[in-house]
Amino acid sequence: MAALTLAVERLAAATVLTCHGDLVAASAMQLETALSQLLLRPQPRIVVNLADVAAIDCTGVMMLRVTAGIATEHGGSLMLAAPGPQVAHTLREGGTQLTIPTYRTVDGALAGDIRDLVPEPDADPSTTTPWPVNPSERRRSA
């Protein structure tokens, strides 16, 4: 497991929290401390850069979801940017992409560019694989 390191960059459009390592139960307190500090600003607008996150578990996902809710309650927002394939899969499986805007790039998140959103698998039929069907289980027409 890779240790978690965090870097904060305050920009005019938002604060970018860049994470390096794993967002897992072992790093939850470190992530919570950083996110709590960012939520102290009025109408916090936070972009979490996940480009260098190797793994995320349910604790990391829940931390992001709770923070997104708090940011919204305070008139702000939390967006995710640049998740790798494994992280994107975990976010999708946890339903997080439905509740937190997830962008392919940090620039897309900063601009709020809907063309840069990470698509849900069902949104693009070319990326879905139909379930295999056993021919013997097909119903016969009467």
Confidence class for position 22, pLDDT limits 50, 70, 90: very high
Distance, in Å, from the CA atom of 76 to the CA atom of 129, rounded to the nearest integer, reads 37
DSSP code string of 85-121: HHHHHHHHHTTHHHHS-EESSHHHHHHT-GGGBPPPG
Query: Strands 45-56, 15-23: parallel, antiparallel or unpaired by DSSP?
Result: parallel
Q: Is 83 helix (H, G, I), strand (E, B) or coil?
A: coil
pLDDT at 4 over 90: yes
Domain ranges across the chain = 5-121
Do residues 15 and 47 lie in contact, with contact meaning Cβ atoms separated by under 8 Å? yes
108, two tokens: 């897309």
CATH architecture of 5-121: 2-Layer Sandwich (3.30)
Q: Which residue has the tokens 């879905």?
A: 128
Q: pTM score, two decimals?
A: 0.83
pLDDT tens per residue across span 76-135: 999 999 999 999 999 999 889 889 999 999 999 999 999 999 987 654 444 444 434 444
**Partners of residue 103 on adjacent β-strands:** 81, 117
Give the mean pLDDT of 43-71.
95
Reply yes or no on whether the pLDDT at 69 is more than 90: yes
